[in-house]
Amino acid sequence: MAQRKEKVRVSPDMISVVGMGMSPDDLSRKALATVEEAEILIGGKRHLSYFSNFSAEKIPLYKNFDQVIRTIKASLREKKRIVVIASGDPGYHGIASYLIKQLGKETIEVIPNITTFQAAFAKIKESWDDALLLSAHGHPLPRLNSLLRKHRKIGILTDEKNTPGAIAQQVLDKDPSLKTTTAFIVEQLGTQKEKIHKYLLKNVVNKRFSSLNAMILFSPARSREEEETMHLGIPDKRFSHQGGLITKDDIRIFTLAKLNLPREGVFWDVGSGSGSVAIEAALLVPDLTIYAVEKYEKRVRDIKKNIKKFGVTGEVTPLLGEAPGILKGLPKPHRIFIGGTEGQLLPILRYCKRTLLPAGKIVINAATLETVNGTLSFF
Protein backbone atom coordinates (compact mmCIF):
# COMPACT_ATOMS: atom_id res chain seq x y z
CA MET A 1 0.00 0.00 0.00
CA ALA A 2 1.34 3.39 -0.96
CA GLN A 3 2.00 5.60 2.06
CA ARG A 4 0.98 9.24 2.04
CA LYS A 5 3.83 11.63 2.78
CA GLU A 6 2.69 14.49 4.98
CA LYS A 7 4.45 17.80 5.33
CA VAL A 8 5.98 18.20 8.80
CA ARG A 9 5.68 21.66 10.27
CA VAL A 10 8.08 22.62 13.05
CA SER A 11 6.47 25.13 15.39
CA PRO A 12 8.52 28.28 16.04
CA ASP A 13 7.15 28.19 19.61
CA MET A 14 8.60 24.74 20.36
CA ILE A 15 12.02 23.11 20.46
CA SER A 16 12.04 19.72 18.73
CA VAL A 17 14.45 17.26 20.37
CA VAL A 18 15.18 14.49 17.90
CA GLY A 19 16.74 11.17 18.86
CA MET A 20 19.34 10.10 16.32
CA GLY A 21 19.44 6.46 17.31
CA MET A 22 22.76 4.97 16.29
CA SER A 23 23.03 6.86 12.98
CA PRO A 24 20.89 8.85 10.49
CA ASP A 25 19.72 5.48 9.12
CA ASP A 26 17.62 5.14 12.29
CA LEU A 27 15.72 8.40 11.74
CA SER A 28 12.01 8.04 10.99
CA ARG A 29 10.43 10.06 8.18
CA LYS A 30 8.96 12.40 10.77
CA ALA A 31 12.31 12.87 12.51
CA LEU A 32 14.18 13.48 9.25
CA ALA A 33 11.54 15.91 8.01
CA THR A 34 11.75 17.77 11.32
CA VAL A 35 15.51 18.15 10.94
CA GLU A 36 15.06 19.35 7.36
CA GLU A 37 12.65 22.09 8.56
CA ALA A 38 15.08 23.45 11.15
CA GLU A 39 16.45 26.97 10.89
CA ILE A 40 18.77 26.34 13.84
CA LEU A 41 20.24 22.86 14.31
CA ILE A 42 21.96 22.06 17.62
CA GLY A 43 23.93 18.89 18.37
CA GLY A 44 27.31 17.29 18.82
CA LYS A 45 29.88 17.89 16.07
CA ARG A 46 29.62 14.29 14.93
CA HIS A 47 25.85 14.53 14.62
CA LEU A 48 25.92 17.89 12.84
CA SER A 49 28.39 16.50 10.30
CA TYR A 50 25.68 14.16 9.02
CA PHE A 51 23.64 17.21 7.97
CA SER A 52 26.38 19.43 6.55
CA ASN A 53 24.37 20.03 3.38
CA PHE A 54 21.32 21.30 5.29
CA SER A 55 20.80 25.06 5.21
CA ALA A 56 20.12 25.48 8.96
CA GLU A 57 22.53 27.40 11.17
CA LYS A 58 24.62 24.77 13.03
CA ILE A 59 25.46 25.20 16.72
CA PRO A 60 27.83 22.55 18.17
CA LEU A 61 26.90 21.22 21.60
CA TYR A 62 29.61 20.10 24.03
CA LYS A 63 30.02 21.70 27.49
CA ASN A 64 28.49 25.04 26.49
CA PHE A 65 25.02 24.30 27.88
CA ASP A 66 24.43 27.73 29.44
CA GLN A 67 25.36 29.46 26.20
CA VAL A 68 23.12 27.13 24.17
CA ILE A 69 20.16 27.82 26.47
CA ARG A 70 20.65 31.57 25.96
CA THR A 71 20.77 31.04 22.19
CA ILE A 72 17.60 28.93 22.27
CA LYS A 73 15.71 31.53 24.32
CA ALA A 74 16.79 34.32 21.94
CA SER A 75 15.83 32.23 18.90
CA LEU A 76 12.41 31.47 20.40
CA ARG A 77 11.77 35.20 20.75
CA GLU A 78 12.71 35.57 17.08
CA LYS A 79 10.29 32.74 16.15
CA LYS A 80 13.00 30.60 14.58
CA ARG A 81 12.50 26.85 14.16
CA ILE A 82 14.91 25.06 16.51
CA VAL A 83 15.85 21.37 16.42
CA VAL A 84 18.22 19.67 18.88
CA ILE A 85 19.76 16.34 17.83
CA ALA A 86 20.61 13.81 20.55
CA SER A 87 22.39 10.46 20.58
CA GLY A 88 20.21 7.39 20.92
CA ASP A 89 16.97 8.39 22.61
CA PRO A 90 16.93 11.93 24.07
CA GLY A 91 14.89 10.79 27.07
CA TYR A 92 17.32 8.06 28.15
CA HIS A 93 20.38 9.64 29.80
CA GLY A 94 19.97 12.30 27.10
CA ILE A 95 19.54 16.04 26.81
CA ALA A 96 15.72 16.06 26.91
CA SER A 97 15.51 16.17 30.73
CA TYR A 98 17.99 19.08 30.90
CA LEU A 99 16.09 21.10 28.28
CA ILE A 100 12.75 20.42 29.97
CA LYS A 101 14.17 21.54 33.30
CA GLN A 102 15.55 24.74 31.79
CA LEU A 103 12.74 25.61 29.40
CA GLY A 104 9.61 23.81 30.61
CA LYS A 105 7.63 20.86 29.27
CA GLU A 106 5.29 23.09 27.31
CA THR A 107 8.24 24.26 25.16
CA ILE A 108 9.69 20.84 24.28
CA GLU A 109 8.65 18.23 21.73
CA VAL A 110 10.55 14.91 21.96
CA ILE A 111 10.86 12.58 18.97
CA PRO A 112 12.22 9.29 20.41
CA ASN A 113 14.51 6.70 18.88
CA ILE A 114 16.30 3.48 19.82
CA THR A 115 18.84 3.58 22.65
CA THR A 116 22.38 2.27 22.70
CA PHE A 117 21.22 -0.60 24.90
CA GLN A 118 18.43 -1.60 22.51
CA ALA A 119 20.91 -1.72 19.65
CA ALA A 120 23.66 -3.41 21.68
CA PHE A 121 21.46 -6.22 23.03
CA ALA A 122 20.05 -6.74 19.54
CA LYS A 123 23.58 -7.09 18.15
CA ILE A 124 24.46 -9.85 20.64
CA LYS A 125 20.97 -11.41 20.19
CA GLU A 126 19.98 -11.19 23.83
CA SER A 127 16.82 -9.81 25.44
CA TRP A 128 17.22 -6.76 27.65
CA ASP A 129 13.93 -6.68 29.54
CA ASP A 130 15.61 -8.37 32.53
CA ALA A 131 18.84 -6.33 32.45
CA LEU A 132 20.02 -3.71 34.94
CA LEU A 133 21.03 -0.63 32.92
CA LEU A 134 23.59 1.86 34.25
CA SER A 135 25.33 4.99 32.99
CA ALA A 136 28.78 6.21 34.02
CA HIS A 137 28.16 9.64 32.48
CA GLY A 138 28.50 12.31 35.15
CA HIS A 139 28.24 10.12 38.23
CA PRO A 140 30.12 7.20 39.84
CA LEU A 141 29.09 3.63 39.18
CA PRO A 142 27.76 1.53 42.06
CA ARG A 143 29.69 -1.54 43.22
CA LEU A 144 29.26 -3.84 40.27
CA ASN A 145 30.60 -6.91 42.06
CA SER A 146 27.60 -6.75 44.39
CA LEU A 147 25.13 -6.09 41.59
CA LEU A 148 26.44 -9.09 39.64
CA ARG A 149 25.21 -11.27 42.48
CA LYS A 150 21.67 -9.93 42.02
CA HIS A 151 21.41 -9.40 38.26
CA ARG A 152 22.27 -11.80 35.45
CA LYS A 153 22.74 -8.99 32.92
CA ILE A 154 24.13 -5.50 33.43
CA GLY A 155 24.48 -2.91 30.67
CA ILE A 156 26.83 0.06 31.17
CA LEU A 157 27.20 3.27 29.19
CA THR A 158 30.91 3.95 29.63
CA ASP A 159 32.81 7.24 29.51
CA GLU A 160 36.43 8.38 29.17
CA LYS A 161 37.17 7.67 32.85
CA ASN A 162 35.02 4.57 33.32
CA THR A 163 36.36 2.63 30.36
CA PRO A 164 35.68 -1.10 29.98
CA GLY A 165 39.21 -1.80 31.25
CA ALA A 166 38.76 0.41 34.30
CA ILE A 167 35.36 -1.13 35.05
CA ALA A 168 36.78 -4.64 34.76
CA GLN A 169 39.64 -3.72 37.11
CA GLN A 170 37.20 -2.22 39.63
CA VAL A 171 35.10 -5.40 39.70
CA LEU A 172 38.08 -7.76 39.99
CA ASP A 173 39.77 -5.68 42.69
CA LYS A 174 36.64 -6.15 44.81
CA ASP A 175 35.96 -9.78 43.90
CA PRO A 176 38.55 -11.76 41.90
CA SER A 177 36.14 -14.70 41.67
CA LEU A 178 34.21 -12.75 39.03
CA LYS A 179 37.08 -13.07 36.54
CA THR A 180 35.01 -15.50 34.42
CA THR A 181 32.15 -13.01 34.00
CA THR A 182 31.29 -12.73 30.31
CA ALA A 183 31.77 -9.21 28.94
CA PHE A 184 30.56 -7.86 25.59
CA ILE A 185 31.95 -4.53 24.39
CA VAL A 186 30.17 -2.93 21.44
CA GLU A 187 32.08 -0.17 19.64
CA GLN A 188 30.82 2.59 17.35
CA LEU A 189 27.36 1.14 16.84
CA GLY A 190 25.70 2.22 13.62
CA THR A 191 28.94 3.22 11.89
CA GLN A 192 31.14 1.46 9.36
CA LYS A 193 33.67 0.87 12.16
CA GLU A 194 31.19 -1.04 14.30
CA LYS A 195 32.76 -3.92 16.26
CA ILE A 196 31.39 -6.47 18.72
CA HIS A 197 33.84 -8.06 21.20
CA LYS A 198 33.31 -10.92 23.64
CA TYR A 199 35.78 -11.59 26.46
CA LEU A 200 36.08 -13.01 29.93
CA LEU A 201 36.18 -10.04 32.29
CA LYS A 202 39.78 -10.79 33.32
CA ASN A 203 40.87 -10.26 29.71
CA VAL A 204 39.23 -6.83 29.40
CA VAL A 205 41.49 -5.07 31.93
CA ASN A 206 44.32 -4.21 29.52
CA LYS A 207 42.24 -3.80 26.37
CA ARG A 208 41.60 -0.45 24.68
CA PHE A 209 38.43 0.42 22.80
CA SER A 210 36.95 3.34 20.90
CA SER A 211 35.51 6.01 23.21
CA LEU A 212 32.10 5.28 21.64
CA ASN A 213 31.33 2.01 23.35
CA ALA A 214 28.99 0.26 25.73
CA MET A 215 29.60 -2.75 27.94
CA ILE A 216 27.31 -5.67 28.79
CA LEU A 217 28.15 -8.06 31.62
CA PHE A 218 26.66 -11.52 32.18
CA SER A 219 27.17 -12.77 35.72
CA PRO A 220 28.58 -16.28 36.21
CA ALA A 221 26.03 -19.01 36.94
CA ARG A 222 25.27 -19.28 40.64
CA SER A 223 24.71 -22.42 42.65
CA ARG A 224 21.34 -23.15 44.23
CA GLU A 225 22.80 -22.29 47.64
CA GLU A 226 24.02 -18.92 46.35
CA GLU A 227 20.62 -18.16 44.86
CA GLU A 228 19.06 -18.77 48.26
CA THR A 229 21.36 -16.13 49.76
CA MET A 230 19.42 -13.28 48.21
CA HIS A 231 16.84 -12.76 50.95
CA LEU A 232 16.51 -11.54 54.52
CA GLY A 233 17.35 -13.94 57.31
CA ILE A 234 20.08 -16.13 55.82
CA PRO A 235 20.01 -19.43 57.78
CA ASP A 236 22.54 -19.54 60.63
CA LYS A 237 24.00 -22.80 59.31
CA ARG A 238 25.32 -20.93 56.25
CA PHE A 239 27.77 -18.98 58.44
CA SER A 240 31.00 -20.13 60.04
CA HIS A 241 30.82 -19.25 63.74
CA GLN A 242 32.29 -20.12 67.13
CA GLY A 243 30.08 -21.96 69.63
CA GLY A 244 26.81 -20.33 68.62
CA LEU A 245 28.23 -16.79 68.71
CA ILE A 246 26.04 -15.48 65.92
CA THR A 247 23.10 -13.10 65.73
CA LYS A 248 20.35 -15.62 65.00
CA ASP A 249 18.49 -15.22 61.71
CA ASP A 250 15.16 -14.08 63.20
CA ILE A 251 16.89 -11.53 65.46
CA ARG A 252 19.07 -10.45 62.52
CA ILE A 253 15.97 -9.59 60.48
CA PHE A 254 14.61 -7.45 63.31
CA THR A 255 18.03 -5.81 63.86
CA LEU A 256 18.41 -4.85 60.19
CA ALA A 257 14.87 -3.48 60.12
CA LYS A 258 15.62 -1.25 63.13
CA LEU A 259 18.89 -0.07 61.57
CA ASN A 260 16.95 1.22 58.54
CA LEU A 261 20.14 1.17 56.47
CA PRO A 262 20.79 4.12 54.11
CA ARG A 263 21.60 3.57 50.44
CA GLU A 264 25.15 4.80 51.01
CA GLY A 265 27.31 5.57 54.01
CA VAL A 266 29.41 3.98 56.75
CA PHE A 267 28.19 1.18 59.01
CA TRP A 268 30.03 -0.15 62.09
CA ASP A 269 29.31 -3.66 63.33
CA VAL A 270 30.90 -3.67 66.80
CA GLY A 271 31.42 -7.04 68.44
CA SER A 272 30.75 -8.65 65.09
CA GLY A 273 31.16 -12.31 66.13
CA SER A 274 30.63 -14.20 62.88
CA GLY A 275 29.97 -11.04 60.86
CA SER A 276 26.42 -12.18 60.00
CA VAL A 277 24.82 -8.74 60.48
CA ALA A 278 27.57 -6.96 58.52
CA ILE A 279 27.42 -9.49 55.69
CA GLU A 280 23.65 -9.48 55.35
CA ALA A 281 23.70 -5.67 55.43
CA ALA A 282 26.20 -5.72 52.56
CA LEU A 283 24.00 -8.07 50.54
CA LEU A 284 20.99 -5.81 51.11
CA VAL A 285 22.74 -2.47 50.49
CA PRO A 286 25.83 -2.97 48.28
CA ASP A 287 26.98 0.67 48.40
CA LEU A 288 27.50 0.73 52.18
CA THR A 289 31.04 0.79 53.55
CA ILE A 290 30.98 -1.68 56.43
CA TYR A 291 33.51 -2.38 59.22
CA ALA A 292 33.15 -5.63 61.19
CA VAL A 293 35.04 -5.10 64.46
CA GLU A 294 35.90 -8.12 66.60
CA LYS A 295 38.23 -8.62 69.58
CA TYR A 296 39.07 -12.31 69.10
CA GLU A 297 41.24 -13.67 66.32
CA LYS A 298 39.27 -16.91 65.90
CA ARG A 299 36.09 -14.95 65.29
CA VAL A 300 37.83 -12.65 62.82
CA ARG A 301 38.89 -15.74 60.90
CA ASP A 302 35.22 -16.75 60.77
CA ILE A 303 34.27 -13.27 59.55
CA LYS A 304 36.84 -13.52 56.76
CA LYS A 305 35.56 -16.96 55.74
CA ASN A 306 32.00 -15.66 55.62
CA ILE A 307 32.99 -12.54 53.68
CA LYS A 308 34.60 -14.72 51.04
CA LYS A 309 31.73 -17.21 50.99
CA PHE A 310 29.09 -14.53 50.44
CA GLY A 311 31.20 -12.49 48.00
CA VAL A 312 31.25 -9.19 49.93
CA THR A 313 35.00 -8.62 49.94
CA GLY A 314 34.65 -5.07 48.69
CA GLU A 315 31.90 -4.08 51.09
CA VAL A 316 32.91 -5.54 54.48
CA THR A 317 36.28 -4.90 56.11
CA PRO A 318 37.08 -7.17 59.09
CA LEU A 319 39.07 -5.53 61.90
CA LEU A 320 40.81 -7.33 64.77
CA GLY A 321 40.89 -5.19 67.90
CA GLU A 322 39.09 -4.04 71.01
CA ALA A 323 36.47 -1.31 70.99
CA PRO A 324 36.34 1.57 71.53
CA GLY A 325 40.09 1.99 70.83
CA ILE A 326 40.03 0.40 67.37
CA LEU A 327 37.09 2.59 66.32
CA LYS A 328 39.09 5.79 66.54
CA GLY A 329 40.71 5.44 63.12
CA LEU A 330 37.48 4.71 61.24
CA PRO A 331 35.33 7.08 59.16
CA LYS A 332 32.39 8.47 61.11
CA PRO A 333 29.36 6.18 60.86
CA HIS A 334 25.78 6.70 59.72
CA ARG A 335 24.73 3.48 61.48
CA ILE A 336 26.18 1.45 64.36
CA PHE A 337 25.24 -2.04 65.49
CA ILE A 338 26.57 -3.18 68.84
CA GLY A 339 26.36 -6.95 69.12
CA GLY A 340 28.92 -7.48 71.87
CA THR A 341 30.88 -5.29 74.28
CA GLU A 342 33.04 -7.66 76.36
CA GLY A 343 32.62 -5.54 79.50
CA GLN A 344 33.28 -2.23 77.72
CA LEU A 345 29.64 -1.18 77.29
CA LEU A 346 29.86 2.35 78.66
CA PRO A 347 33.15 3.35 76.95
CA ILE A 348 31.78 1.99 73.66
CA LEU A 349 28.48 3.84 74.05
CA ARG A 350 30.26 7.10 74.91
CA TYR A 351 32.48 6.93 71.85
CA CYS A 352 29.70 5.79 69.50
CA LYS A 353 27.29 8.50 70.63
CA ARG A 354 30.01 11.16 70.22
CA THR A 355 31.04 9.92 66.77
CA LEU A 356 27.69 9.05 65.20
CA LEU A 357 26.76 11.39 62.33
CA PRO A 358 23.59 13.54 62.54
CA ALA A 359 20.38 11.55 61.95
CA GLY A 360 22.36 8.35 62.52
CA LYS A 361 21.15 5.31 64.45
CA ILE A 362 22.60 2.94 67.03
CA VAL A 363 21.04 -0.50 67.49
CA ILE A 364 22.13 -2.67 70.42
CA ASN A 365 21.34 -6.35 70.94
CA ALA A 366 21.40 -7.26 74.62
CA ALA A 367 21.89 -10.82 75.81
CA THR A 368 21.77 -9.87 79.51
CA LEU A 369 19.71 -7.60 81.75
CA GLU A 370 22.92 -5.85 82.77
CA THR A 371 23.39 -4.68 79.18
CA VAL A 372 19.75 -3.54 79.00
CA ASN A 373 19.97 -1.60 82.28
CA GLY A 374 23.38 -0.12 81.50
CA THR A 375 22.23 1.09 78.07
CA LEU A 376 19.01 2.60 79.40
CA SER A 377 20.91 4.38 82.18
CA PHE A 378 23.42 5.78 79.71
CA PHE A 379 20.84 7.22 77.33
User: How many CB atoms sit inside 10 A of residue 300's CB?
Assistant: 20
The rounded mean pLDDT for the chain is: 90
State how far the Cα of 368 lies from the Cα of 377, in Å rounded to an integer. 15
Cis-peptide into 333, omega within 30 deg: no
CATH superfamily assigned to domain 15-114: Tetrapyrrole methylase, N-terminal domain (3.40.1010.10)
Q: C-alpha dihedral over 353, 357, 360, 361, to 10 degrees?
A: -30
Residue spans per domain, the chain: 15-114, 117-221, 226-378
For residue 145, what pLDDT is reported?
84
CATH superfamily assigned to domain 226-378: Vaccinia Virus protein VP39 (3.40.50.150)
Identify residue 128 by its one-letter amino acid code.
W
Residue 8: pLDDT band with limits 50, 70, 90: low
Domains 117-221 and 226-378 share a fold: no
List, in sequence order, every residue forming a beta bridge with 213; answer none if it has no partner.
187
pTM of this structure: 0.73
117-221 architecture in CATH? Answer: 2-Layer Sandwich (3.30)
How many Cα atoms within 13 Å fall on the side-chain side of residue 220?
Answer: 16
pLDDT digits (tens, 9 = 90+) for 26-68: 999 999 999 999 999 999 998 999 999 999 999 998 888 888 8
For residue 242, what pLDDT is reported?
84
For residue 228, what pLDDT is reported?
55
Residue 131: pLDDT band with limits 50, 70, 90: very high
State how far the Cα of 175 lies from the Cα of 377, in Å rounded to an integer. 44
Mean pLDDT of all residues in 232-247: 86
Q: Strand (E) positions, the chain? A: 15-19, 40-43, 57-60, 82-86, 108-111, 132-135, 153-157, 182-187, 195-200, 213-218, 265-270, 288-294, 316-320, 335-338, 361-364
User: How many CB atoms sit inside 10 A of residue 151's CB?
Assistant: 17
Q: Is the dihedral of CA 283, 285, 286, 292 positive or negative?
A: negative
Helix, strand and coil content of the chain, in percent to the nearest 5, comes to: 35, 20, 40
- Is the pLDDT score of 2 beyond 50? no
Bridging pattern class, strands 213-218 and 288-294: unpaired
How many Cα atoms within 13 Å fall on the side-chain side of residue 117?
Answer: 20
